[in-house]
Amino acid sequence: MIVVRAAVLPAVGSPLETAEIDLPEPGPGQVRVRLAAAGVCHSDLSLANGTMRVPVPAVLGHEGAGTVVSVGDGVGHVGPGDDVILNWAPSCGVCHACSLGEVWLCESALTGARRVHAHRADGSELYPGLNVAAFAEETVVAAGCVLPAPHGVPLTDAALLGCAVLTGYGAVHHCARVRAGESVVVLGAGGVGLATLQAARAAGAGTIIAVDVSPAKEELALAAGATAFVVASDSTPRDVRGLTGGHGADVAVECVGRAATIRSAWESTRRGGRTTVVGIGGKDQHVTFNALELFHWSRTLSGCVYGNSDPARDLPVIAEHIRAGRLDPALLVTDRIGLDGIPLAFENMLAGKGGRALVVF
């Protein structure tokens, strides 16, 4: 057994506990990774508060990077000493979604989250929140959950590629399909929102508007690529129209996951424009539309899972953007913390403070 420190969610709604856990040695088709860094994502908070359901108790954390310590039989694409990015949603390649090329919707992606991952000191079982259990000094994952880290990208930056950057990039390039010169409004300037702003700038968008409840995020949003900043309010759609010639944005990307924000994104989009929802909301968050407005505005409303991305395809492209200076993952990070700092990071997230908190091991 391998003894490591980890942040454990004892039960839904309970605070995280830092504890020593017992990891097994990697078996066939598994990889043992020593974490360098792990991002604290809103999805982790959604798991902790029950918005998204997974077996508990669990080790959370799904956005991370590190170095391979050892591998089990049958693993050939990585080996000891290799730097890797954790992929929390590995695709099976054979289900209906995968056969359509929609690997981000793989029906088996979260199978690993239902398998016992480790044990606490008292012998009780632990599960990996979203397959990879990145809130730990080390983890043991299925081989499909690791991808070679790109050369020239520090592991502390590469950690963010596994969710925030990949999601923001995909939202712009795969979901909204932003074209050069188009106007884009991004609602929510957290980690994913900041990555979306960067991706919009890299896509050649013209007017790029960031919207957030916190005025303190203006400087961060402008550095990420926004050309204008709006403090979120009931008048957000009117403010966006005022910045886009009275029409509304060609593209709106919602990165919050609340009914009111989704509605605001929809109303901020021009007639015939595209509204993309990235934020994960609860099932009690209901968004309503009337039949006439759907006809009249002729907008497209779409969901977005993991940026509709294929990590194996998209990570090399993102890495090239990083090396060329068009994307900067480090800009997303506003707090560097240890495992004990994750509960406060959750509190800051709920309060709308800061960008991405990064656990650095």
Query: 301-316: b or e for each residue (b if 16 or more CB lie within 10 Å)?
Result: beebbbbbbbbeebbe
Predicted local distance difference test score (pLDDT) of residue 352: 87
In a domain, 123, yes or no: yes
Q: Which two tokens stand for residue 224?
A: 């990420």
Same domain, 176 and 143: no
In a domain, 179, yes or no: yes
Distance CA 247, CA 273 (A): 10
Distance CA 181, CA 324 (A): 21
Same domain, 208 and 266: yes
Q: Can you give the CATH number for the domain in which 252 is found?
A: 3.40.50.720
In a domain, 136, yes or no: yes
In a domain, 265, yes or no: yes
In a domain, 320, yes or no: no
Query: 112-139: b or e for each residue (b if 16 or more CB lie within 10 Å)?
Result: bbeeebbebeeeeebbbbbbbbbbbbbb
Q: Name the residue range of residue 264's domain.
A: 165-305
Same domain, 133 and 180: no
Q: What is the pLDDT along the chain (361 residues), one digit of tens a residue?
A: 899 999 999 999 999 999 999 999 999 999 999 999 999 999 999 999 988 888 999 999 999 999 999 999 999 999 999 999 999 999 999 999 999 999 999 999 999 999 999 999 899 999 999 999 999 999 999 999 999 999 999 999 999 999 999 999 999 999 999 999 999 999 999 999 999 999 999 999 999 999 999 999 999 999 999 999 999 999 999 999 999 999 999 999 999 999 999 999 999 999 999 999 999 998 999 999 999 999 999 999 999 999 999 999 999 999 999 999 999 999 999 999 999 999 999 999 988 888 999 999 9
Number of helices (H) and strands (E) in the chain: give both, helices first.
11, 18
In a domain, 313, yes or no: no
Same domain, 229 and 294: yes
In a domain, 346, yes or no: yes
Same domain, 76 and 111: yes
Domain count, the chain: 2
Q: Can you give the CATH number for the domain in which 112 is found?
A: 3.90.180.10
DSSP letter at 271 equals E
Same domain, 181 and 110: no
Paired strand residues for 68: 33
